[in-house]
Amino acid sequence: MLESTMMDYPLTIPLMLERAKQLFPHVEVVSLLPGAPNPETKLPTPHEHRTNYFEIHARVMKLCNALVDAGVQSGDRVATMALNSFRHLELYFAVPSVGAVCHMINIRLPPEQIGYIINHAQDKVLFIDNVFAAQLPMILQHCPSIQKVIVMGQVPGGVPVGVHDYEDFIRDQPVTFRYPEINERQASGMCYTSGTTGNPKGVLYSHRGIVLHSLASLGADLLGVSSSDTVLPVVPMFHVNAWGYPYTCSWVGAKQVYTGMFTDPKIIARTLEKESVTMTAGVPTIWIGLLDELDKAKAAGTPYKLEKLKAMIVGGSSTPRKMLVDFEVRHNLKIIPAWGMTETTPLGTANVLLPHHMALDDEARWDQMTLSGRQAPLVELEIVDGDGQTLPHDGEARGRLLVKGPWVTKSYYDNPEATASTQYNGWFDTGDIATMNAEGFMMIQDRAKDLIKSGGEWISSVDLENELMGHPAVKEAAVIGLPHPKWDERPLGVIVLREGSSANHEELNLHLAKKFAKWMLPDDYVFTDKIPLTTTGKFLKRALRDQFKDHKLPGA
């Protein structure tokens, strides 16, 4: 092999923050922290905290020194149980900068799963937000690997004995730090999938993967983040690197806004307006709530001023078409679906329209806009049938979605069994069922296990859900398959109606019949006030199947 004459220059996370400090020292990072309690609800009210990349850099250097002093070594796992804030951002940079692994724990998991993953990851140090401090005794009792706990934010009555305060932890440290040598393939971070079955499975991100993922995210065909942007990631920082925003934004000096525990639509809307946010990102349920809030404000004659907001990225679940249309028609706001997984760092696709799509009529353009999008540079996608044969990219053929790339996992951490079930000839098997069209636009049809098998044919629960959520009376809709003696499985619709609206079985099926064959329509509906969600905001189908396992379908 003839080597090039190019420098050996490893792709590492510290490069990003160094650039932010040098080029964008005064650009702000805004956080809403839990402040004084509301006298009525007793819940904390938002307290605004403002800092900038110069200060963040100095504090990250202090934190690096403190971590090294605390005995954190290369490869050690340092856990966070924290919401979105500047301190969590500091951990995003400091932990990998000392060669350790920032393990972002999904704080919405049940305590026993949190205990499981801390023990599985063998976390050595834990950084925890004050609002979760009540969980500390349980964690310390069941997780012997944890040698040190640092609490972020004030705890009424002071921190427990043996536990450190974050500001004390870094206070006396120098603002310069000499980075250790870092191999770009070294682990930099860690997340566990909040899988709906079995124990959570861990993925170790790499410096290389994070740098490439961030670089790709700068492109207009993916996220298009630039130094002119102000970004509010509603997606939590414990949810797959907050889709990469903390790194991507820092690298190009975009202003970052974090609302922490405050994900109430009113506060989100107010913050989008106040901080002149240009880009935001979250799961559909967040945007459904925001849409209501914007509608109400508009009806009251006091609309929010969101002219600067050019993109709302939707991920985590498929994008309900009606929501996308409503945002555009009623509020001139643009929804951009994206797709990814814990196992893919996470961005795999984003739906950025091509010039010729802009010439489509509205209905066709909206159809186009609901697709999951095209693969990012450096990501490869393929769909295959049950025999592993490649399927045509015609927008019709549905197959198992495979993915490949430098920020896609090849295995789960210390879990050969789970690893084996997702490896496929050098690809990662997502477990999703998808179509792809001739322009490479991919559409997630369903999780393989959520497809409904009726009389030898497959029915997509996601398709039915999205169409149901297009009915004016329907706020949320989930569709699951129930066992059926004749057809194997048949669909049941689980519906949350809008306040003051009504709809029945026939009306809903009439609505669906415009688009679906008769045999695809749900055999029955149940109406409820809440659909259980996963910790990352997706419909929890497993819980629904449990809940309705004894439901008797008509004719079954």
Using CB under 8 A, which residues numbered 472 to 491 contact its own copies? Answer: none
Cβ closest to its own copies, residue 24 vs residue 177 = 24
CB of 379 to its own copies, least distance (A): 9
CA distances to 70, 150, 152 from 142, rounded to whole Å, are: 22, 17, 21
243 scored as a contact of its own copies (CB under 8 A):
no
How far apart CA 117 and CA 192 sit, in angstroms, is 7
11 scored as a contact of its own copies (CB under 8 A):
yes
Find the binder of its own copies among 109, 203, 290, 464 (CB under 8 A). 203
Identify the active-site residue in 80, 193, 230, 342: 193
Phi, psi of 540 (to 5 degrees): -90, 85
Residue 245, H or E segment: helix 245-252
Cβ closest to its own copies, residue 84 vs residue 214 = 214
DSSP state of 71: T
183 scored as a contact of its own copies (CB under 8 A):
yes
> Which residues, at least 6 apart from 17, have a Cβ–Cβ distance to it below 8 Å?
53, 56, 57, 60, 93, 97, 250
In one letter, which amino acid is 119? Answer: N
Cβ closest to its own copies, residue 76 vs residue 326 = 76
How far apart CA 119 and CA 145 sit, in angstroms, is 7
> Which residues, at least 6 apart from 296, have a Cβ–Cβ distance to it below 8 Å?
none
Cβ closest to its own copies, residue 329 vs residue 354 = 354
Site string for its own copies, 361-390 (x = CB under 8 A): -------------xx-xx------------
Residue 405, Ramachandran bin (φ over 0: left; ψ between -120 and 50: alpha; else beta): left
CB of 278 to its own copies, least distance (A): 10
343 part of the active site: yes
How far apart CA 25 and CA 542 sit, in angstroms, is 47
Find the binder of its own copies among 45, 122, 199, 226 (CB under 8 A). 226
83 scored as a contact of its own copies (CB under 8 A):
no
Cβ closest to its own copies, residue 201 vs residue 331 = 201
342 burial (CB, 10 Å; 0-12 / 13-18 / 19+) is: buried
427 part of the active site: no
Find the binder of its own copies among 8, 417, 529, 550 (CB under 8 A). 8
The DSSP-derived string for 247-306 is HHHHHHT-EEEE-TT---HHHHHHHHHHTT--EEEE-HHHHHHHHHHHHHHHHTT-----
458 part of the active site: yes
How far apart CA 468 and CA 462 sit, in angstroms, is 10
Site string for its own copies, 431-460 (x = CB under 8 A): -------xxx--------------------
b/e per residue 346-367 (b: at least 16 CB within 10 A): bbbbbbbbeeeeeeeeeeeebe
User: Which tokens go with 121?
Assistant: 């990851």
Interacting positions 12-51 with its own copies (CB under 8 A): 15-16, 19, 22-25
Identify the active-site residue in 273, 419, 458, 535: 458
How far apart CA 379 and CA 348 sit, in angstroms, is 6
Residue 232, H or E segment: strand 230-233
Hey, what's the torsion of the CAs at 304, 307, 313, 318, to 10 degrees?
60
399 scored as a contact of its own copies (CB under 8 A):
no
Cβ closest to its own copies, residue 73 vs residue 501 = 73
User: Which tokens go with 137?
Assistant: 């005794």
Find the binder of its own copies among 206, 370, 454, 460 (CB under 8 A). 206
Given the rule CB under 8 A, which of 3-11, 34-42, 323-331, 360-368 is the region that contacts its own copies? Answer: 3-11
486 part of the active site: no
Find the binder of its own copies among 50, 171, 185, 305 (CB under 8 A). 185
CB of 80 to its own copies, least distance (A): 17
Phi, psi of 95 (to 5 degrees): -60, -55
CB of 91 to its own copies, least distance (A): 18
Interacting positions 89-108 with its own copies (CB under 8 A): 99, 101
Find the binder of its own copies among 29, 117, 139, 216 (CB under 8 A). 216
CB of 556 to its own copies, least distance (A): 44
212 scored as a contact of its own copies (CB under 8 A):
yes
Identify the active-site residue in 55, 90, 275, 343: 343
Angle (CA) 417 533 493, round 5°: 105
CB of 192 to its own copies, least distance (A): 12
215 scored as a contact of its own copies (CB under 8 A):
yes
Find the binder of its own copies among 195, 406, 431, 532 (CB under 8 A). 406
71 scored as a contact of its own copies (CB under 8 A):
no
How far apart CA 461 and CA 446 sit, in angstroms, is 7
294 scored as a contact of its own copies (CB under 8 A):
no
Interacting positions 321-350 with its own copies (CB under 8 A): 345
Catalytic residues: 193, 343, 453, 458
